[in-house]
A and B are shown apart, each in its own frame.
Chain A
Amino acid sequence: MSNDIRIKKGLDIKLVGEAEKTVEQAVISNYCTIRPEDFHGVIPKLVAKEGTTVKAGGVLFFDKSEEAIKFLSPVSGKIVEVVRGPKRRIDAIKIQADKAQAFEDFGVFNVDAAKPEAVKAHLLAAGCWPFVKQRPYDVIANPASSPKAIFISGYASAPLAADLDFTLKGKEAELQAAVSALGKLTEGKVHVSVGKNANSPLAGLNGITLHKVSGPHPSGNVGTLINKVDPVNKGEVVWTVNAQDLVIIGELLLTGKFNAERIVALVGSSVEKPRYFKTIAGSEIATLIYDKGVSKGGNDRIISGNVLTGKQIRPDGSLDFYSNVVSVIPEGDDYELFGWNKPVFNKVSTSRALTFSWLNPKKKYDLNTNTNGEHRAFVTTGTYEEVFPLDIFPMQILKACMYQDLDEMEALGMYEVAPEDFALTEFVCVSKQPHQKIIREGLDLMIKEIG
């Protein structure tokens, strides 16, 4: 039995540089960098001091406020540097990888026989807990909470996203183990979405409620799935896990190894030959992007993640902990003569104000990072609603976040949203407001004030 979810409001942004469906083993990265900022809201307490050695799966740090949540090293090697920022905040932990990799052995875990408490303890101890996120607040799940349901989106609708049908192929055993384990942690259901016409390995799993989604982005966002299936009410918690992280959880359960290896898509119009790589979380980005990729010294934006929600990284930076896509697009730091009033054919727009992307909905665009205008107060109305499928008033909730009215934020549905749900409204925003940042700050305020 499956349920169909059809999204009407939204926007597919079609870009040049989709990955060809071939997987290459990436060059082994000499260094692996873990940045605590990838784990929003976590204050790290360092375990592995500078100069010590760890195995793959060795503890690097844990969360100060929830000590059970451990963050493990994806590689075995020596901690060469702990980069610190102001007030001795830990910015990054850099590990020099050994030539031969040694893994901590967490032991094969029998999911079927295990009690929920044992499953939870195992995932916490073996470093897989950071893959489990929660709503409200879009942070790493509080292990003490009991979620009313768990949501997994197996359909990637974001621009140039890695095709999950392709990257998860052949991983059915791992996926099943992970889903079975997660299923024990909730009283409710495990909701999984797949594309309507997709051939997803997730579709055949046991113990899930399958949803077939169709329609434009954000149909593949887990937030959209939650809103359409079982929205989060005040006092309730749901958990979400990225589909690609299920593989890591599954491998841990089946083999006892914490293997943070995943298939990453290298995409974008600046990439010569966009394709998939097998690599490890935290690897140097340079190991991916230069071979038949981008030209050195080119004026490009490298993004760990997709072009709507990813993080900008420098060419000497590294892949972040969660991303399964690296996007490289041209920088747009140039002026355009009369760019504000001349007819536009080479950019995406939802309006038809001398913008002509509506003429050719199938065309793929080569967009750069120019903002196409300056930051302004909110003026136009109705534009966000066209691309926002959740049953929430987007502009009203953004304004509530800006004037920090907690009651109103709560009433308008802040418990249901994550910053990524506002990526499209941010994209189309005529006033170029930073929607995702506004929502993130709003959520942080709620954590602080309400908890």
Chain B
Amino acid sequence: MSLKNKLHILKRKYRSKKMAPAFNALHTFLYLPNETTHNGTHIKAADDLKRTMNTVIMAMVPCLLFGMFNAGYQHHLALGEIQSVTGGLFSAEFWTLDNFMVGFWKIIPLVIVSYGVGLLIEFIFAIINKHEVEEGYLVTGMLVPLIVPIDIPLWMLAVAVVFGVVIGKEVFGGTGMNILNPALTIRAFLFFAYPTWMSGDKVWVHGAVERDQAIAGGQNLDAISGETILGALAQSKEVAYSTVDMFLGFIPGSVGETSTLLIILGGLFLVFSKIGSWRIMLSSVIGAIVMGLIFNQVVASGWIPESSNFYGLMSAPFWEHLIIGGFAFGTVFMATDPVTASQTNKGKWIYGFLVGFISIMIRVFNPAYPEGVMLAILLMNVFAPTIDHYVVQGNVKKRMKRVKVKTA
């Protein structure tokens, strides 16, 4: 008897049992279910939620792999064991097995903890609520490891995932019902609960924190600096990386968000496959450019002294904001989450624009934590239903006007 038939018999056997959702979740990963339509449309399109989520994950895989190489590269570079890259994207110093293995052994545990803890909670809630396990966490689980610093302790990640999934999603009713992007809720929790692990110039390079502690313990070593570009700009320091490095991603940062090039590729894939909203991505970039230009204009007009706290970030050319920090990653993978973004097409333009606009604003005006994308998206998540409300009201008003014209 084939595996297919065996599983079918098991599924029937456990149909009304408590653990049925857990069994079905695993079963449907192996086989597309044998469910048929009843009334309504007798045929259905090929796409389901699993396919949709899988497409987003595929778009993130290049970022994940690059993140592994980059983790090792930044580590070895900071220790002075290798030279910085010179030959562009295909530099031999970067794509070494050694670099990859350092990152692999640091990042895979993050992925396992993120998925393990998150899916466990999803399964528990599905069993308690007696509904099927929904696929929302598949994307969240991949996003989380990509947006945290590499050395984040695993227990912290686990605590944050529990918080993010339960408070960010399940209390609202699970996938499709949440207000805030769960991955960003997880990150925001880490950010406010464990700020020393989430910002500063030590956390972005593997080994930097450890080294710091060793120095504090009296050992005679050189400290490693792993300052991000945003961090440097916020303190009006000289940036040590070239524009090409920033664009290709040979810079310190959260695990998977450094390579703008690969993020753009992922974004194009999402737009092409019609899974990601091009409206949000495009309008977010426009919003960021507008805000960047405004700040550049302020600097050019001499309205702000060079001694100001904000000068460094304000004077950064507007286009540089697009390739540093988490802006590109947030725009492509986080702002486009269909559940928490605006749901109407017109609303998406407004929502995306404001995400970009506010990201850069927070970035510049909050130099203590110079990454504004997370907070900007969370803020706009909250406002998205309001934006939609007004867009929908436009349609409603049109309908009421029609009646008035008639009766007048």
Which residues in A have some Cβ–Cβ distance to B below 8 Å? 13, 15, 159, 231, 233-236, 301, 303, 307-312, 327, 329, 331-341, 344, 347-355, 357, 367-383, 385, 391-393, 395-396, 411-413, 423, 426-432, 434-437
Contacts and interface: CB of A to CB of B under 8 A. Distances in A.
A335 B36 contact: no
B361 interface: no
Interface in B98-146: 132, 134-136
Contacts, number: 227
Given A308-B43, A311-B39, A423-B41, 12 more contacts: A15-B43, A231-B402, A336-B31, A337-B4, A338-B30, A339-B32, A341-B50, A373-B47, A374-B28, A376-B135, A430-B47, A437-B40
A419 to B, nearest CB: 8
Contacts of A412: 392, 395-396
Give the 8 A-B residue pairs with the shortest CB-CB distance, closest first.
A373-B48, A339-B32, A377-B176, A347-B46, A335-B31, A340-B50, A336-B32, A353-B55
A350 B400 CA distance: 33
B15 interface: no
Contact of B49 (A327, A367, A430): A430
Interface of B: 4, 7-8, 28-52, 54-55, 132, 134-136, 173-177, 272-275, 277, 338-339, 341-345, 348, 388, 392, 395-396, 398-400, 402-403, 406
A377 B177 contact: yes
Nearest to B275: A353
Contact of A369 (B42, B136, B338, B348): B42
Contact of B28 (A310, A340, A426, A428): A340
Contact of B39 (A159, A231, A233, A437): A437
Contacts of B344: 381, 393, 396
B134 to A, nearest CB: 6
A379 B176 contact: yes
A211 to B, nearest CB: 19
B47 A355 contact: yes
A422 B272 CA distance: 26
12 contacts: A159-B43, A307-B41, A332-B34, A332-B36, A339-B31, A355-B46, A370-B34, A370-B36, A370-B37, A372-B48, A380-B52, A396-B344
B337 to A, nearest CB: 9
B398 to A, nearest CB: 7
Contacts of B388: 396
B39 A353 contact: no
Given A354-B51, A382-B277, A377 B175 contact: yes
A345 B175 CA distance: 29
A145 B96 CA distance: 79
Given A335-B34, A382-B277, A385-B345, A372 B399 contact: no
Nearest to A345: B46
B46 A303 contact: no
Contacts of A378: 176
Contact of A312 (B38, B52, B277): B38
Which of B8, B45, B50 is packed against the most chain A CB atoms within 10 Å? B45
Contacts of A437: 39-40
Contacts of B38: 312
Contacts of B339: 379
A147 to B, nearest CB: 14
B343 A381 contact: yes
B51 A413 contact: no
A132 to B, nearest CB: 23
A434 to B, nearest CB: 5
Given A349-B46, A353-B273, A374-B28, A334 B34 contact: yes
A303 B37 CA distance: 12
A327 B41 CA distance: 12
Contact of A357 (B46, B275, B342, B402): B46
Nearest to A301: B42
B274 A350 contact: yes
Contact of A432 (B8, B48, B273, B402): B48
A357 B46 CA distance: 10
Which of A233, A311, A428 is packed against the most chain B CB atoms within 10 Å? A233
A412 B275 CA distance: 26
B41 A309 contact: yes
A411 B396 contact: yes
B174 to A, nearest CB: 7
Nearest to B49: A376
A391 B395 CA distance: 8
Given A233-B402, A369-B42, A427-B44, A393 B395 contact: yes
Contacts of B399: 231, 233, 411, 413
A383 B52 CA distance: 12
Nearest to B403: A233
Nearest to B270: A353
Nearest to B398: A391
A353 B396 contact: no
B362 to A, nearest CB: 26
Contacts of B275: 351, 353, 380
A368 B43 contact: yes
Given A233-B403, A353-B51, A370 B39 contact: no
B52 A430 contact: yes
A427 B43 contact: yes
A308 B42 contact: yes
B54 A341 contact: yes
Nearest to A427: B41
Nearest to B402: A233
Given A233-B403, A349-B47, A436 B41 contact: yes
A333 B174 contact: no
Contacts of A311: 39
B33 A335 contact: yes
A427 B274 contact: no
A411 B29 CA distance: 41
A179 to B, nearest CB: 25
A372 B47 contact: yes
Given A13-B43, A348-B46, A335 B4 contact: yes
A312 B51 contact: no
A435 B41 CA distance: 9
Nearest to A426: B41
A379 B56 CA distance: 14
B8 A435 contact: no
B52 A379 contact: yes
Which of B33, B341, B398, B402 is packed against the most chain A CB atoms within 10 Å? B33
Which of B44, B177, B403 is packed against the most chain A CB atoms within 10 Å? B44
Which of B7, B37, B39, B47 is packed against the most chain A CB atoms within 10 Å? B47
Contacts of A434: 39-40
B345 A382 contact: yes
A13 B42 CA distance: 12
B395 A370 contact: no
Contacts of A377: 134, 173-177
Contacts of B36: 301, 331-333, 368-371
Contacts of A428: 45, 47
Contacts of A393: 344, 392, 395
Nearest to A437: B40
A16 to B, nearest CB: 12
Contacts of B29: 340
Contacts of A310: 42
A310 to B, nearest CB: 7
A370 B32 contact: yes
Given A339-B31, A374-B35, A347 B45 contact: yes
Which of B29, B32, B46, B275 is packed against the most chain A CB atoms within 10 Å? B46
